[in-house]
Chains A and B, each alone.
Chain A
Amino acid sequence: MSRLLEIKNLDVSFEQEQGLARALRGVDFLLSSGETHALVGESGSGKTVTSMAIMGLLPIPPGKINQGEILFQGKNLLMLTESEKRILRGKEIGMIFQEPAKYLNPAYKIGEQIAETLMTHFQTDRKAATQQALEFLHLVGLGKNKRVLGSYPHELSGGMKQRAMIAMAICCHPALLIADEPTTALDVTLQLQILRLIHRLKRKFTMGILFISHDLGVVNEISDKISVIYAGKIVESATKNQLFENPLHPYTKLLLLSIPDAAKRGTRLRVIPGTVPDAEHIPAGCSFHPRCPLAEDICHGEIPASIDYDSGHFAACHFVGKKWIDSSK
């Protein structure tokens, strides 16, 4: 598989009144073509900043890219001019967002919004573009009639809006699709349908998907590979099976243990003490050390390097494999 998207040592910060917020502190990430790679983390861990940096949508200033590169099909996206980025966005890289209601224009009909994308990128005339838009709506399960085509966003339900947005994101056959929490705002029964839809479209168009989520259950369902991000740094990166069967980083382990499940009834949930650090006050050394049961002196001062432990299973921890003493009881 070829390297579709490679992020190397990306460092992004935001200048704020309260001080410098270090949103990303050297993120490394590799996505091969045709693969679904999930980026998992809690709020404020830098998931969305990563996707915005790829799309070239970071507000600069106050944002600042201190170092690193984003290679998309070999091109460094950070070196492109604004007009080059504009050609890339939508055509080569599609994006779907958490709240479709926010990202669809309420004043235009769905059909017009999809056709506009096609007309901009392929210089299609309106009639052909509308015809294609109808086909894409059919593809995402919105039926082959013209009702949705001529509807305004407010006339559609949440699930239909999300489907319409997916149609818009894939209508130019992008090589990369960024899905930023696409199912968080939806009910469970709809969530599964949207996940399946994304999965099927990935096969059909052999897209690479960067799937951003905070929900390990959803990620388990859809992804081939998973990277866990904590306080602006990837702490563990592995295939889905490696990560769920043998998590190496204590943060990943604890996250998996803390998820409630019917099988854990009657037992206490394992808790990660403390809270996620905010980007202005990231602890020195390993950023997880104040909450980590394995932490020793070295963790306070030295940032652990990301090491390959098992054919592509990377973890950044000084004490991978150290005996786990469960102190929660």
Chain B
Amino acid sequence: MDRFIEIKNLVKLYFGHGFFDRNRLAVRAVDNVSLGIHRNTVFGLVGESGCGKSTLARAILYLDPPTSGEVWFDGTLLGGLSVNEIRTFRKRMQIVFQDPNSALNPKMRIEESLAEGLINRGVTAKARTARIEKLLDLVGIAPALRGRYPHEFSGGQKQRIVVARALTMEPDFLALDEPVSNLDVSIQAQIINLLLDLKQELSLTYLFISHDLNLVAYVSDQIGVMYNGKLVELASADEMMANPCHPYTMKLFSSVPGKQAIDGPTANGNIGAVREKLPSRPSDCCLYADQCSIADRGCRHAQPDLHEIRKEHYVACFKI
């Protein structure tokens, strides 16, 4: 299979604000991440809040251009394009955000929201209307409702509209940043089914970001686990669920509700899980070492890199 999206050594740093702080490194949000996404598959990215999942998605789309590293999109190096070229190119990649309430402009009718991208591309009014009606129909919103405002729709309907808007430019790639976390349980399944249907019909490729492991395991073909800006484990979904190897992955998996006895240890007196800020400097130790149950002195003197332990199964840990 060809690699549709290829990311090599992607780094995203954030610097301090103001004249005096502008060279002071504040956060190492994404640290040397490399991964590949095959055409028409779903890459699931899991990790706790603040681990850099969303930053990675934004960097891939060049919404926040990465500090260093390469993003290859279907054979094109995005870093080699000018700002204008990126803008044109971006119609092939779109993003869907977590909260549909804040993603839609409350003062625009939904047809206006959907038309914006098409107007920028110079699509005629007649073709625009036809396309919008077709898209709304595709996501399960009656096209007759296109003149309504966002507040007249429920949360699930709004998320459908956001998906339709992301599809107006006929993209090949969608970054889905927690697309169902803000929705009710009974609505989540509707949106997930819709996304998987669309993927088949329009042969889309997804980067699916979520903190919900059950969900990621259900939708993804490949799963990457992120911790503190680094990718710590990467494998196919089946392999990841059967053989999680990195201690952090195992901890994450065992924390899924319903998987472990409630009578287990409560980590009394241990506030280790209450993580402090992301480290701003590349410390020369494994970032997980302080919380790891199997870490030894070696883990505190060098950073582990991703290495292949089985076919297509990569882990960044010295002890595996």
Contact = CB atoms under 8 A, between A and B. Distances in A.
Interface stretch (B14-22, B24-32, B115-123, B270-278): B270-278
Q: Which of A191, A254, A260, A276 has the most CB of B within 10 A?
A: A260
B269 A143 contact: yes
A127 interface: no
Interface string B136-159: 000000000000000000101100
Contact of A43 (B184, B189, B266): B184
Interface residues of B, number: 47
Interface in A146-201: 157, 159-160, 187-193, 195-197, 199-200
Contacts of B190: 271-273
A238 B190 CA distance: 27
A180 to B, nearest CB: 17
Interface in A215-254: 215-218, 220-222, 254
Contact of A188 (B184, B186, B219, B255): B255
Contacts of A195: 257, 262
B267 A276 contact: no
B258 A214 contact: no
Contact of A220 (B185, B193, B257): B257
A188 B269 contact: no
Nearest to B187: A275
B266 A262 contact: no
A142 B266 CA distance: 12
A265 B218 contact: yes
A138 B48 contact: no
Contact of A275 (B49, B156, B188, B275): B156
A214 B271 contact: no
A261 B275 contact: no
B192 A260 contact: yes
Contact of A260 (B187, B218, B252): B218
Q: Which of B217, B237, B251, B271 has the most CB of A within 10 A?
A: B271
B282 interface: no
Contacts of A268: 193, 196
Contact of B271 (A142, A217, A222, A271): A142
A273 B189 CA distance: 10
Given A187-B48, A217-B256, A262-B237, A138 B273 contact: no
B252 A188 contact: yes
A57 interface: no
Contact of A191 (B185, B215, B257, B269): B257
Contacts of B274: 157, 159-160, 190
A199 B262 contact: yes
20 contacts: A138-B269, A142-B271, A160-B274, A187-B49, A187-B211, A188-B211, A188-B213, A188-B255, A189-B255, A192-B257, A193-B273, A195-B262, A196-B265, A197-B266, A216-B185, A254-B186, A260-B218, A262-B214, A268-B196, A269-B192
Interface of A: 42-43, 138, 141-144, 157, 159-160, 187-193, 195-197, 199-200, 214-218, 220-222, 254-255, 258-262, 264-265, 268-273, 275-276
